[in-house]
Structure 1
Amino acid sequence: MTDLTDKVAIVTGASRGIGRAIALLLAMQGAKVVCVARTAEELEEVALKTAGLAITADVSDEADAQHIVAETIRNFGRIDILICNAGVGSFSLLEHFTLEEWDQMFAVNVRGTFLLCKAVLPYLKAQHDGHIVGIASDVSKRTFQHGAAYGASKYAQDAVLSSLRKEVRSFGIKVTTIYPGLVDTYFNDSKPGNPDTEKTHLKPADIAQAVRYVLEAPAHVVVDELMIHPLTQEY
């Protein structure tokens, strides 16, 4: 199995939910974690727990994406892992969506993934090593009512990662996409621990363990895609 000790990992959306769980678990495995989010107060708390680096940034902004990578290199000298987890979502009938809501989802979910991947690739290619993990969604593979905008952004993110996987494999770089089902987080203004969702949803720690699984796979093993959803969720 691949040892994560001293691996340098950038985790976006690290201030809460899935990103927080991933950052904490990677730190427990000995990784040096760069925690990225837009909310400084919550981010600092996670960075303290991981003994890592906190960078307040908007992943959909090109200058911020380049800053995240530059600061990681300045502090640690390399990048081994990029976790593209930052994401936003809102749900409504298509006719009720505003252009602002549509653009925000594509900015964070798609452009954010594109910009961070683009920024780290020169370093990963120079190393002939590295692992990019995208936290997509099971709606990257299906559609549902009220999910036109969010689903479209996740289909697009999936396409970015899938295409990138084919472009970088010859450099020894792995790209894995994880498709979580329903997760008990703050996503879409919900609050974790709600009795109505606690027994029917995945926990952020479940997704973090899935990330650990793909990162710790032996060097000769490639996990391209991993679907994870609760037993209570039907398809």
Structure 2
Amino acid sequence: MELQGKTVLITGASKGIGRQLAEDLAAQGVNLGLVARSEQELTEVQQAAEKAGAKVIIFTGSVADEELAIQAVEATVAKFGGIDFLINNAGYGIFGPTESYTADSWGDLYDTNVKGTFLFCKAALGPMKKAGGGHIINIASDVAKRVFDGGALYCSSKFAQDAFSAALRKEVRRDGIKVSVVYSGLVDTAFHPDPHAPEKKDWLTARNMSATIRYIMTQPEHVVIDELMIHPLSQDY
């Protein structure tokens, strides 16, 4: 499938995987709707994408805000005529012993990693059904399939995001809507606190992830990659 002229809405678009994907897609001539918390960083991405020739609209705020999700979808549809792809990329992690988590930190992380995915999917389904198709790609993690010591909060949020995606996939196939999930291992982005850790030279890069997501996006219309697991060779899953 050619991506030129398609419309893509990306959450978590101001840095890391989301930013790289936006910039790469801009070079392919897509229309972009970009969502993130940081207006300054998001504006920088917008300027770079527009310089590459893309048409861009941006939205600043939390993906857990239902009004933002509705506004982002409605404005993107109004500007570009529809949404071909929704990329739910926004997310973050908190790690440590279970007793170290507060109720607020638990709720905030679930709001972003799980509720945000739900809200943007819910908002996008109407326009996609009306158009007779669309493609939702949720960026999860390999910990949606496994757990680790100190990861009770993050792992459980990714399991929930994955279960939601799997059920949604069964629900909307009859409407011609694809749902894909990407499970990534270690990626060298701001998600991990130490940007200078020596082992990061062997990790996946944001560019690797962007290429993977675009591979999923460019499959023929009758093909859907339901799930894709990706790791650096140095990581033993």
Shift of 1:189: 3.3
Aligned equivalents of 1:94 and 1:164: distance in 2? Answer: 30
Aligned equivalents of 1:97 and 1:33: distance in 2? Answer: 36
Give secondary structure in 1 for the equivalent of 2:20: helix
Within the candidate set 138, 153, 160, 1:156 is matched to 160
Q: How does 1:109-120 map to 2 (within 5 A)?
A: 109-120=113-124
The aligned length equals 232
Which residue type is aligned with residue 78 of structure 2?
R
Which residue type is aligned with residue 65 of structure 2?
D
Alignment correspondent of 2:210: 208
Shift of 1:195: 4.7
* 8 Å CA contact 1:57, 1:68 repeated in 2: no
Specify every segment of 5 or more residues in structure 1 that has no aligned partner in the other structure, as ranges: none
Aligned equivalents of 2:212 and 2:194: distance in 1? Answer: 23
Aligned equivalents of 1:98 and 1:196: distance in 2? Answer: 32
* 8 Å CA contact 2:73, 2:124 repeated in 1: yes
Q: How does 1:143-222 map to 2 (within 5 A)?
A: 143-191=147-195, 194-222=196-224
Give secondary structure in 1 for the equivalent of 2:135: strand
Alignment correspondent of 1:93: 97
Specify every segment of 5 or more residues in structure 2 that has no aligned partner in the other structure, as ranges: 51-55
Alignment correspondent of 2:132: 128
Alignment correspondent of 1:140: 144
Which residue type is aligned with residue 81 of structure 1?
F
* 8 Å CA contact 2:137, 2:182 repeated in 1: yes
> Please, what TM-score do these two structures have when normalized by structure 2?
0.95
2:83 is aligned with 1:67: no
Aligned equivalents of 1:144 and 1:98: distance in 2? Answer: 19
Aligned equivalents of 1:143 and 1:84: distance in 2? Answer: 22
Aligned equivalents of 1:87 and 1:155: distance in 2? Answer: 13
Task: Give every structure 1 segment of 4 or more consecutive aligned residues whose post-TM-superposition deviation is greater than 6 Å.
Answer: none
Which residue type is aligned with residue 56 of structure 1?
T
Aligned equivalents of 1:189 and 1:101: distance in 2? Answer: 17
The percentage of counterpart residues that share the same residue type is 47
| 1:130-183 superposed Cα distances (whole Å, 9 cap, x missing partner) | 100000000000000110000000000001111110011111111100001000
Q: How does 1:42-57 map to 2 (within 5 A)?
A: 42-51=41-50, 52-57=56-61
Which residue type is aligned with residue 26 of structure 1?
L
